Structure 1
């Protein structure tokens, strides 16, 4: 007789629960961040440093870029959504590269040419990008509208918005023109390194989690939570925009 697999106990059950526990803890941390910080906020210390330096500072800007990516919970949520149901590394590389190209182009060009967009508006759109991707993972567009959006095109488009959000924040701190291009390229390298580190952690957790017999059911719950987090981010930015103009 085959063993009953509907009940698991001991080390095996603990191993199956670990990825879901890690995901839940991560979501709680993201909720805490979302209720207390702006998605693209630059810390006062970093802002002061950006404003005061002149010339090219490669290592410093690589560090700042990596720090931004790792602490940018909106980026992490969208990246998680993009790779959630991608099982082959080749496809992961394609989608992550598309996202990287999108946010690199608008970040560098946005700062270089001074394309500024209200931070509340762009961050609200970024929040909606998380909502979109989670709904896509839930199959909502096919269920509700009978069609499947082009996921690669959507990843590129939202990547452009993510880069624009960062560019808008950098412009607020009036980075010096002396060494601007070198510092921007260094910052972008840091962003990509941070993205690779975040992706590495995500793929490890997802790899273990997908082995769980309850993965698909838990994945539905996880993506619903991501929808709610995206809506929370969007709501915060919309209310911030309304509050800003209410005092003008």
Structure 2
């Protein structure tokens, strides 16, 4: 269950505006790229056919660990979760969501713009940071269902994964087992990232600075989400 500290909402709009302007400037200069596929990995995948389970497990784990947007959302989800059963529930919902749309998206070749999907993923980070600082209770007068939100955003994260896997131009020979292997790798990568986050958070929560800086950390997370959103949105508009 997510805890919502009773902090007043900090006037962050000028900072968000500045960060969005920076994202737009980067995109307009050609820097906006969805975190894509390594060329060496793509070349390797394009050359192989049949069942190649271990390479796809490796690629799935690599993509999750290096996917900063997925890691940011995962950090937001567990930020105020202390019990392992609660962490397990939310992480499982996230995993169910992204596994479902990743497998279906690749298998049925759902060709959706990676910029558009990654913009939504950026908003998922913004949502979770706002949820953590109690913004929705103050602004809307009620608490949205955090479990449902985690599952729904997991579906979008899975579509983001699918857009990256489609860039591999995988052979139809052995497609389903290779996809399952990739998804297993994603889950392994998620568990590794989660373990690292929980270790760091465990030490931080024991210090006096945690409650002093937790609000600022979530504001920073929210700003990072806005940057990701603006970066990808402008890329969606200006990149053919």
Q: TM-score range by the shorter chain?
A: 0.7 to 0.9
Corresponding position: 1:236 with 2:231: yes
How many angstroms does 1:37 deviate by?
7.4
Aligned match of 1:176 = 171
Q: How far does residue 214 in structure 1 lie from its aligned partner after superposition?
A: 2.3
Alignment of 1:76-115 (within 5 A): 76-115=71-110
Q: Superposition pairs for residues 1-248 of structure 1, below 5 Å?
A: 38=33, 40-245=35-240
CA distance in 2, matches of 1:181, 1:129: 29
Cα deviation, residue 168, structure 1: 1.4
Give unpaired runs (5+ residues) of structure 1.
1-34
Give the C-alpha shift of residue 58 in structure 1: 0.8
Match of 1:22 in 2: none
Alignment partners' CA distance in 2, 1:172 and 1:39 = 12
Match of 1:17 in 2: none
2:6 alignment partner in structure 1: none
Q: Secondary structure at the match of 1:154?
A: helix
Measured after TM superposition, the shift of residue 145 of structure 1 is: 1.2
Instruction: Please provide the CA RMSD for this pair.
Output: 1.3
SS of 2:239 mapped into structure 1: helix
The offset of 1:244, in angstroms, is 2.0
Q: Comparing 145-154 with 209-218, which one deviates more in the overlay?
A: 209-218
Higher RCO, Cα 8 Å, sep 6+: 2
CA–CA separation in structure 1 for the residues paired with 2:109 and 2:71: 26
- Report the Cα offset of residue 212 of structure 1: 1.2
More displaced 10-residue stretch of structure 1: 44-53 or 228-237: 44-53
TM-score by length of 2: 0.85
Partner Cα separation in structure 2 for residue 142 and residue 149 of structure 1: 8
CA deviation vs aligned residue, 1:146-204 (integer Å, no higher than 9, x gap) = 11110000000000000001111222332110010111000000000000000001001
Displacement of 1:41 after TM fit? 1.2
Moved over 6 A (4+): none
5+ residue gaps in structure 2?
1-25
Count of residues in correspondence between the two structures: 211
Q: CA deviation at 1:39?
A: 5.1
